Amino acid sequence: MKIIVDTSKCVGAGQCVLTEPALFDQSEDDGTIVVLNKTPEGELVEKAREAAHVCPSQALSLEE
């Protein structure tokens, strides 16, 4: 699995970070998403799916 981000869609809501801080952070400049691990494994795969699902701007997508 690979996490794909469209930062132009990101509104900085931070739902991804709240879902899994081991995978996501937010830019200090504008609050947009920063992916810490683009290729999660194990239990982090499900967390990545959950983060993509709860993203209000649909800035996250997953390539299986």
The CATH code of the domain that includes 58 is 3.30.70.20
Q: What is the pLDDT of residues 48-60, one digit of tens each?
A: 999 999 999 999 9
What is the number of domains present in the chain?
A: 1
Categorize the per-residue pLDDT at 47 as very low, low, confident or very high, splitting at 50, 70 and 90.
very high
Name the pLDDT band for 11 (thresholds 50, 70, 90).
very high
Give me the domain span that covers residue 7.
2-63
Per-position DSSP letters for 15-62, written without gaps between them: HHHHH-TTTEEE-TTT--EEES-SS--THHHHHHHHHHHH-TT--EEE
Taking only the tens place, the pLDDT of each residue in 16-31 is 999 999 999 999 999 9
Rounded CA-CA distance 59/27 in Å is 14
Q: Which amino acid, 54? A: V
